[in-house]
Amino acid sequence: YANPDLYRTLSETQTREWQTLAARDAGVSAISAWSVEEIAFPASPARAAMTRAYAPIMTFDLSANTGVFAGKVVERTLSVINDTSVARRLDLTWQLTAADGTWTLKGGQPLQLAPSSRVHVPITLSLPPGCQERTTATLLLTLCESGRLVFTKTTTWDVFGEAPLRAADVVASFGQL
List pLDDT tens digits, range 79-96: 999 999 999 999 999 999
- pLDDT score, position 94: 98
| Pairing of β 135-145 and β 67-69 | unpaired
Q: Which residue from 136, 116, 113, 124 is spatially nearest to 78, judged by alpha carbons?
A: 124
| Residues 127/73, Cβ–Cβ less than 8 Å | yes
Q: Backbone phi, then psi, for 35, in 5-degree steps?
A: -75, -30
- pLDDT score, position 37: 60
Torsion sign across C-alpha atoms 43, 49, 53, 59: positive
DSSP classification of residue 17 = H
- pLDDT score, position 89: 98
- pLDDT score, position 34: 56
- pLDDT score, position 76: 96
Residue ranges of the chain whose pLDDT lies below 50: none
Q: How far apart are CA 82 and CA 38, in angstroms?
A: 25
- pLDDT score, position 54: 83
- pLDDT score, position 107: 97
- pLDDT score, position 5: 85
| Residues 157/66, Cβ–Cβ less than 8 Å | yes
Please state the pTM of the whole predicted model.
0.81
Q: Which residue from 49, 71, 60 is spatially nearest to 24, judged by alpha carbons?
A: 60
67 to 59, 99, 167, 171: CA distances (angstroms): 20, 14, 19, 22
- pLDDT score, position 36: 59
